[in-house]
Amino acid sequence: MLYNVVILNVIRLKYFLIVVLAVLFLANKPAFKNSPPGTIPLTDSLFIDKFPVKVRDYIEFLNSLRYFYNDQLSDSLKKLPKYGLTPADIDGLTQHFHGDSLLHQRMLTRTWVTYSNDERRYDVDFHLKSTKFLDYPIVNITFEQMRYYCKWRTDMVMLHYATSCKTEKQRQKFPMNFKYRMVKRKEWELTISKYFHEIQRPENQKNNAERPNNMIRPYYYSKKRSFYYDVDNAAETLDNAVVTFNFKWNSSVRIGNISYFKFEEPMDWISFRCICEILPEKNVK
């Protein structure tokens, strides 16, 4: 009799553990099968960029401003259906709008450039003028430019979903309401914690919170990495004009800390990345 009771309790415990594990699995399961373009999961409602924004991404943004995107188009896109749009629909829409040359000029990243006659001018950043910099993080960028890029990207991804999904059922596989925005400090610290094993730190790391000495270099895709952050590459601007750089790690006691300082002006070693936040759903048109 006692043996049967023990067996019964073991079976009950086994099924209890199965239920607990199932609940934990569902709690950690992403809300969507595919992350929003360019991102990886951080929480159920937050997806952070794999890479900092690259020069190639920013050039695409600039070309859009030059030829068709402006604030009026952005407002019109919000009134469109969230699925079932055809290329003809998009063509018809864009024919009514033209690029904003003043906005395009305002969004160009700039830096001091020395020309052959030793003349120095505050001119368009040279990273935008050569294909060899396409995979470099975008630098010399203002806080206003970062935020407007996030707004544009939100519109473009929403448009991508609306044209690639033909039915409401297809559309529901992706976020209905979301926005790309700047990363908050707590979100960055969560990212560092979650993707700690992906971070590349120099062998002889020398961190100085007073004078960071980051030199930008390109980021290339690798099957071995899902998150790209090298502490001696470009520092990254967060929301509220906070800049994060480096990650000081003491391997002997396994303790690390992130350095921060206030963003004051564009620099040739400061970039940024976006985070996509899933917002409460609205009525689908």
Q: Which residue in this structure is represented by tokens 């060899």? A: 132
Structure-model confidence comparison of residues 6 and 177, the more confident one: 177
Q: How confident is the model at residue 12 (pLDDT cuts 50, 70, 90)?
A: very low
Both tokens assigned to 73: 């188009």
3-state secondary structure of 222: coil
Rg of the chain over all Cα atoms, to the nearest angstrom: 23
Structure-model confidence comparison of residues 1 and 80, the more confident one: 80
pLDDT digits (tens, 9 = 90+) for 82-141: 999 998 888 887 788 888 999 999 999 999 888 888 888 889 999 999 999 999 999 999
Q: Which residue in this structure is represented by tokens 């000029």? A: 105
Domain limits, the chain: 31-278
Structure-model confidence comparison of residues 42 and 207, the more confident one: 42
Residue 208 pLDDT more than 70? Answer: no
Query: Other C-beta atoms within 10 Å of 143: how many?
Result: 17
Note the Cα 192 to chain centre separation in Å. 14
Q: How far apart are CA 141 and CA 271, in angstroms?
A: 7
Start-to-end Cα distance in the chain: 64
Q: How confident is the model at residue 204 (pLDDT cuts 50, 70, 90)?
A: low
pLDDT of residue 109: 98
Residue 147 pLDDT more than 50? Answer: yes
pLDDT of residue 6: 36
Structure-model confidence comparison of residues 180 and 248, the more confident one: 180
